[in-house]
Amino acid sequence: MPLIRTSYRRDRHDDRRLRTCADSLMESLVHHFCVPPDDFFHIFHALEASEFFFSPNYLDVARSEDLLVIEIALGPGRSPERKKRFYLDAASRIAQHCGLRPEDVFIVLVETGPENWSFGLGQAQMIDLPPDWLQEPAQPAAEAANSASMDARVPFRPAESLAEDSLKNSAGHAYADISPAFADYTQRVLFGEVWSDPALSFRDRSLITLAALVTAGHDKQLPYHLRLAREHGLSRGELSAICMHLAFYAGWPYAASALAVLEREWPET
């Protein structure tokens, strides 16, 4: 439930850059803080040069007039390590996609409880009609038993997050009992480091992964990654087109099998 306010100098950024900034920041919030993709409220405050003052070198960070001051109000509970990963990813992603310097991405997190939010109609939706992700069940027994040793390796899973529902956070959990190391590497390395590398967008990584799975005929992994691709903004039509394209490169039977999985997982409405 983030509310984002970004202040900037009016003469330094155009509308296109601001929209790209908003989308890039949301990608980081979805990935690192498990924010629902449609929980998207971002307000930009344009200021004149005479209204925008800041230290150009506080804490040895060389800021320029392109500075974006980003204030994010959100629910409490994320660990310091998770926040550090978010800061790094958000600054890198905004810098890459918006043509800015990471030094010019200034972020402040302001935590506030669910009782402090009204999303309209004069109602306290997070109290009166809390979404499923706000009522996360207790930790599984096996996870609770290992929480002390795993805390330094696996991102903290706050009570108000989408931890159980988030696709990325659920990766590897099915193997936790039989192979804790497999589950750990899946979360910490695959989704904690590889997927988080800002060199490629989540959308690009979904495209690459789906192409590899269809080409290899790995139908059992497709449902998960089709849902992940949907979370990353790919449409049903685009996924169908991917299968059609791969029919000529990976093989008609593999593409047909993938289309069958797509129809089952994402029927047309």
Alpha carbons 146 and 68: distance in angstroms, whole number: 40
Alpha carbons 90 and 109: distance in angstroms, whole number: 13
Secondary structure element (H or E) that encloses residue 207, with its range: helix 202-216
212 contact partners, CB below 8 Å, separation of at least 6: none
Q: Which residues are catalytic?
A: 2
Cα 251 from chain centroid (whole Å) = 33
Put the strands of the sheet holding 42-47 in their side by side order.
42-47, 3-9, 68-74, 105-111
Amino acid code (one letter) for 233: G
Task: Give the chain's radius of gyration (CA, Å).
Answer: 21
Q: Are 162 and 133 in contact (CB under 8 A)?
A: yes
Q: Are 36 and 2 in contact (CB under 8 A)?
A: no
259 contact partners, CB below 8 Å, separation of at least 6: 240, 243
Alpha carbons 96 and 17: distance in angstroms, whole number: 11
Nearest of 253, 182, 261, 250 to residue 222 by alpha carbon: 261
